[in-house]
Structure 1
């Protein structure tokens, strides 16, 4: 990284941005839990986690976005890519915060993703 390159772990004022992705399993369902801000600099972390998860061929992938405070266009594009990677073999479910639910619906992606208000609700969709 050059001196002029932005630091993806800090905001414009130099404050630390805590952004992360972790993977858990719930039976045959993979659960990616995320938190923080996902913009052009931090979205590659999300993309890598999604790609690595699909390599394990789960029956379903639940992406927990309930603790995400910012989700930029690069991150939305990563979700669209995830939908394409999932194909017919893997159910892709998103647990989203209210602001992100509104955003995804406003840009016409409501029919592309299964949207839920919590991870528990998304996991329960397996039982339905």
Structure 2
């Protein structure tokens, strides 16, 4: 897990990789809290490198998004794999969290028109 300043002012990106299970949860929550404290207005949690996303990962996302220090800040998630989006969908969190980069998302009308012209 690593933290980096994002391209937007006040943004911190927390890049997470590997397995998110009960063993990694304490370190994950500690890292996400540090990122939340560092972010002035926007925390982006990049889960594109996650290879296993268990209930501990789901719990950590809920925990950080509802943490008192998240007040007044936006918490977003990048999830590019069904490994992550599947559990989020099953728990209903896909609708509650701001999740970007999801696989299998249908192309919008503009994309369909562009493809038809080619």
Structure 1-normalised TM-score? Answer: 0.70
Tell me how far 1:64 sits from its aligned partner. Answer: 0.4
Which residue is equivalent to 2:47?
A: 65
Q: For the residues of structure 1 that align with 2:21 and 2:81, how far apart are their CA atoms?
A: 18
SS of the residue aligned with 1:110?
helix
Note the 1:67-106 alignment, pairs <5 A: 67-85=49-67, 87-99=70-82, 100-106=84-90
Q: For the residues of structure 2 that align with 1:61 and 1:23, how far apart are their CA atoms?
A: 10
Give the one of 38, 46, 54 matched to 1:56.
38
Indicate if the aligned counterparts of 1:68 and 1:97 stay in contact, CA closer than 8 A: no
Superposed CA RMSD in Å reads: 1.6
Q: For the residues of structure 1 that align with 2:22 and 2:86, how far apart are their CA atoms?
A: 21
Matched, 1:34 2:16: yes
Q: For the residues of structure 2 that align with 1:77 and 1:101, how far apart are their CA atoms?
A: 14
4+ residue segments displaced more than 4 Å? none
- The structure in which a higher percent of residues are helix is 2
Matched, 1:115 2:95: no
Q: For the residues of structure 2 that align with 1:44 and 1:97, how far apart are their CA atoms?
A: 24
Tell me how far 1:57 sits from its aligned partner. Answer: 4.3
Structure 2-normalised TM-score? Answer: 0.75
SS of the residue aligned with 1:89?
coil
